């Protein structure tokens, strides 16, 4: 069966970068694209929306983006919390605080410690949790992930993971234990740049990572999140390739919900001066994604400011992290190395109230709350039993 890498190899990143930069659409041409049905839009149309020339039509893009968001998602914004299980890593990534060569305090939570962290998240009202690790499969093997997912599934409405790429059978096992979704970001779709910033470790295997969402789709994982880390290569072209990838997943894995995140590089241990991407350009990238892919969830993390997050939530964002800690043990005050610096430091309740103030509905628990009646303390006690 075809995988995304088979299509990816036929596209040239640098050629698309040049084409996007050269776009000069007239107002009439731009309006024709905005009025087109998303299913009839091609990558050439998306390249116009992503081009610097589209900046003069930003207000039109925002209006169309908000219209499509309200049609597909209403006024809801799902809130979730990340829970870092480990910052041990065996890969060398030049932009990441967890990179194996960085001199940070390393910590992998025990099962009990992970449950204690989860309890603190649970107490804030969050029922959607994202479990994260570094790229060290020996410190956090599949058996470790299975144990934690199984225990947390008693209390959390959805459990997603953002860990090193796994095989299809691994995803099937985790799904049986209660896993709801995965997040795997390609970081950069530029193959030359990918090798320049990933110097060693499992992550250097570009095609194994690129086809990870395929393996999750074949395993019938319910939610698949992809994205690019903006700042490593030409940002508009990264967004175009991310959208190309997402459309492929939608067409081939209809049982999975697809979402996209576009994290911007943030300062981290060993990486202090990320390139500047303006908020205006950043907003245009999200508007273009919504217009091209109205059905995908768009995710915005606490890497971004409260001002920007609140404003984009009114237009196109449908999922946001809240009250985030980016280091293992962060919720209980354990000191360990963090992956990157966050900007939006508001609590979960503060973020929820801010969304209500702008007439949005923050969703922390969905479905039937009666199925979540088991106190998390019971899980903790069970885990301690011989």
- Give the CATH number of the domain where residue 90 resides: 3.20.20.70
CA–CA distance from 105 to each of 100, 144, 284, 339, 370 (Å)? 11, 21, 38, 11, 40
Full pLDDT tens readout for the chain, 386 residues = 789 999 999 999 999 999 999 999 999 999 999 999 999 999 999 999 999 999 999 999 999 999 999 999 999 999 999 999 999 999 999 998 889 888 889 999 999 999 999 999 999 999 999 999 999 999 999 999 999 999 999 999 899 999 999 999 999 999 999 999 999 999 999 999 999 999 999 899 999 999 999 999 999 999 999 999 999 999 999 999 999 999 999 999 999 999 999 999 988 777 777 788 999 999 999 999 999 999 999 999 999 999 999 999 999 999 999 999 988 999 998 777 667 678 999 999 999 999 999 999 999 986 443 333 334 444 443 333 32
**Given this model, what pLDDT does residue 382 score?**
39
Q: How far apart are CA 22 and CA 270, in angstroms?
A: 35
Residue partners of 130: CB distance under 8 A and separation at least 6: 80, 81, 82, 83, 160, 161, 162, 183, 321
Q: How far apart are CA 137 and CA 109, in angstroms?
A: 14
| DSSP string computed for 304-326 | S-HHHHHHHHTTT--EEE-S---
Domain that includes residue 79, residue range:
4-384
Q: How far apart are CA 79 and CA 59, in angstroms?
A: 27
State how many domains the chain has. 1
**Torsion-angle region of 230 (φ positive above 0: left; ψ -120 to 50: alpha; else: beta):** beta
**Given this model, what pLDDT does residue 380 score?**
40
**Contact between residue 124 and residue 151 where contact means Cβ atoms under 8 Å apart:** no
Instruction: Record the pTM.
Output: 0.93
Q: How far apart are CA 181 and CA 217, in angstroms?
A: 10
Tokens describing residue 86: 């480990």
């Amino acid at each position: 069966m075809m995988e995304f890498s088979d299509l990816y190899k036929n596209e040239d990143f640098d050629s698309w970068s040049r084409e996007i930069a050269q776009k000069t659409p007239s107002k009439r041409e731009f309006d024709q694209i905005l009025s087109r049905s998303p299913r009839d839009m091609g990558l050439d149309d998306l390249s116009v929306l992503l081009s610097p020339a589209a900046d003069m039509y930003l207000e039109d893009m925002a209006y169309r983006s908000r219209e499509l968001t309200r049609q597909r998602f209403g006024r809801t914004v799902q809130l979730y919390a990340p829970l870092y299980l480990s910052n041990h890593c065996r890969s060398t990534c030049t932009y990441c605080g967890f990179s194996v060569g960085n001199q940070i305090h390393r910590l992998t939570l025990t099962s009990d410690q992970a449950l204690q962290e989860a309890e603190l998240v649970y107490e804030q009202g969050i029922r959607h949790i994202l479990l994260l690790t570094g790229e060290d499969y020996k410190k956090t093997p599949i058996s470790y992930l299975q144990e934690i997912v199984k225990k947390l599934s008693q209390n959390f409405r959805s459990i997603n993971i953002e860990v090193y790429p796994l095989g299809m059978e691994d995803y099937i096992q985790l799904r049986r234990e209660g896993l709801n979704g995965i997040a795997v970001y390609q970081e950069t779709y530029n193959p030359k740049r990918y090798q320049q910033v990933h110097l060693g470790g499992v992550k250097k295997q570009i095609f194994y990572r690129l086809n990870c969402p395929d393996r999750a789709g074949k395993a019938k994982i319910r939610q698949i999140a992809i994205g690019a880390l903006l700042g490593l290569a030409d940002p508009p072209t990264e967004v175009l390739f991310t959208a190309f990838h997402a459309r492929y997943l939608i067409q081939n894995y209809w049982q999975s919900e697809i979402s996209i995140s576009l994290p911007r590089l943030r300062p981290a241990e060993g990486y202090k001066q990320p390139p500047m991407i303006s908020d205006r350009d950043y907003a245009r990238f999200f508007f273009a994604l919504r217009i091209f892919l109205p059905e995908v969830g768009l995710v915005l993390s606490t890497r971004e400011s409260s001002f920007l997050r609140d404003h984009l939530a009114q237009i196109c964002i449908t999922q946001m992290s809240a009250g985030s800690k980016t280091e293992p043990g962060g919720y209980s005050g354990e000191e360990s190395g963090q992956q990157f610096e966050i900007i939006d430091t508001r609590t979960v309740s503060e973020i929820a109230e801010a969304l209500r103030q702008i007439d949005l509905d923050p969703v922390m628990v969905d479905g039937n709350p009666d199925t979540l009646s088991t106190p998390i303390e019971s899980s903790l006690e069970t885990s301690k039993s011989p």
